[in-house]
A = this chain, B = another copy of it.
Amino acid sequence: LDEEAMARAQAHLDDLTKPPGSLGTLETIARQLAGIKGEVPRRLSRKTHILMAGDHGVVAEGVSAFPQEVTPQMVLNFASGGAAINVLARHAGAELVLVDIGVAAELPDLPGLLKRKVAPGTANLARGPAMIREQAIAALEVGIEVANEKIAAGSELLGIGEMGIGNTTPSTAILAAFSGLPVEKITGRGTGIDDQRLQLKINAIRRGLEVNRPNPADPLDVLAKVGGLEIAGMAGVILAGAAARVPVLIDGFISGAAALVATRLAPGAKEYILASHLSEEPGHAAALELLGLKPMLTMQMRLGEGTGAALGMTMIEAAIKIYHEMATFSQAGVSGALDS
């Protein structure tokens, strides 16, 4: 990050008519944007939310409350504008890009859908590797390419989100592999499974870690063996954003797992990531802690799709307005702090 630009931004923030630091995360965001872009932009002329969809062989273990056909059904719903992310991306003024990176069904041509399928879903990670290493790399590359296309078209802020029935299972496995945290502590109910399915899910993750022995020192090994295609795609978006100096807003637990992969592959990428909300999935707080990121929102959400990231975009807009529209102490004739 551009340390000089951050120091300039901080000096301006401290000169605005408020106690220093009192706008908290709004100030942190402005400073980070200055570090990324060299100055706090006047506005974000184009914001893009990239939604990666992929399926998971591990659903055969009974880990999800919803059947796998919901993944392609929801892609159709996204394309026709009726899902939560459509509403919230419109609310945030962001364009929505759908990517079929690994749906286990043939999808028709749909408005806004990029067909970049690497495989029709992953293999069952509880029985063997979810992907071969080449698939994981190909999925990362899809994310990088899609992000680069959008950045080339003028996007100045990327949000990420996902759709994939069963995908809190690989996300939990990734977190467990990197953190060593006990699986039962970080496994949640995803879309809302009952106790019986929760136990199946914990068992599947444990078995996946035992069978595959992912090597935490080799992030690609973790991603391939216990990850997912849409997780790899989102990690690719983060890597591309960091390389092009474009901030990437992550969503909940699954995009948090993607951020773990991306920052293990390229630790410097962390500076380009912003955290949006704290999800209800128990592993998310642990993932954010590992990433060293603080969430903006505690909306008790656990939907995915990037719904939290879309809401977070409105906070980034607010931070930019604060930076450029507030008066300074001298402009407003307001007294500064007393000496003690």
Contacts A25-B301, A91-B318 given; does A83 touch B327 at CB 8 Å = yes
A297 within 8 Å of B by Cβ? yes
CA distance A336 to B73 in the complex (A): 11
Which residue from chain B places its CB closest to the CB of A66 in the assembled complex? B337
Given the complex, which residues of B lie within 8 Å of A23, measured CB to CB?
A: 84, 299, 301, 303, 307
User: A304-325: contact bitstring with B at CB < 8 Å (1 yes, 0 no)?
Assistant: 0001000100110110011001
- Find out whether the CB atom of A18 lies under 8 angstroms from the CB atom of B87: no
Which among A41-49, A188-196, A218-226, A230-238 touches the partner chain?
Answer: A188-196
Which residue from chain B places its CB closest to the CB of A303 in the assembled complex? B22
Given the complex, which residues of B lie within 8 Å of A91, measured CB to CB?
A: 317-318, 321
Q: How far is the CB of A206 from chain B (nearest CB, A)?
A: 20
Among residues 4 to 19 in chain A, which have CB atoms less than 8 Å away from a CB atom of chain B? 16-19
Among residues 270 to 294 in chain A, which have CB atoms less than 8 Å away from a CB atom of chain B? 278, 280, 294
- Find out whether the CB atom of A65 lies under 8 angstroms from the CB atom of B294: no
A250 within 8 Å of B by Cβ? no
- Find out whether the CB atom of A65 lies under 8 angstroms from the CB atom of B332: no
Determine which of B70, B196, B334 lies in contact with A73 in the assembled complex, contact meaning CB atoms within 8 Å. B334
- Find out whether the CB atom of A19 lies under 8 angstroms from the CB atom of B73: no
- Find out whether the CB atom of B297 lies under 8 angstroms from the CB atom of A77: no
A105 within 8 Å of B by Cβ? no
Contacts A301-B25, A326-B84 given; does A17 touch B74 at CB 8 Å = yes
Given the complex, which residues of B lie within 8 Å of A179, measured CB to CB?
A: none
- Find out whether the CB atom of A297 lies under 8 angstroms from the CB atom of B298: yes
Given the complex, which residues of B lie within 8 Å of A333, measured CB to CB?
A: 73, 76
CA distance A92 to B332 in the complex (A): 23
Q: How far is the CB of A5 from chain B (nearest CB, A)?
A: 21
Which residue from chain B places its CB closest to the CB of A22 in the assembled complex? B303
Given the complex, which residues of B lie within 8 Å of A194, measured CB to CB?
A: 340
Given the complex, which residues of B lie within 8 Å of A326, measured CB to CB?
A: 82-84, 86-87
User: A181-207: contact bitstring with B at CB < 8 Å (1 yes, 0 no)?
Assistant: 000000000011110110000000000
Q: How far is the CB of A86 from chain B (nearest CB, A)?
A: 8
A88 within 8 Å of B by Cβ? yes
A26 within 8 Å of B by Cβ? yes
A300 within 8 Å of B by Cβ? yes
Determine which of B196, B299, B315 lies in contact with A340 in the assembled complex, contact meaning CB atoms within 8 Å. B196
A153 within 8 Å of B by Cβ? no
Given the complex, which residues of B lie within 8 Å of A336, measured CB to CB?
A: 66
Contacts A22-B192, A83-B17, A84-B322 given; does A73 touch B335 at CB 8 Å = yes
A296 within 8 Å of B by Cβ? yes
A69 within 8 Å of B by Cβ? yes
In order of increasing CB-CB distance, the 7 nearest A-B pairs are A82-B327, A24-B300, A19-B191, A22-B303, A25-B299, A77-B332, A24-B301
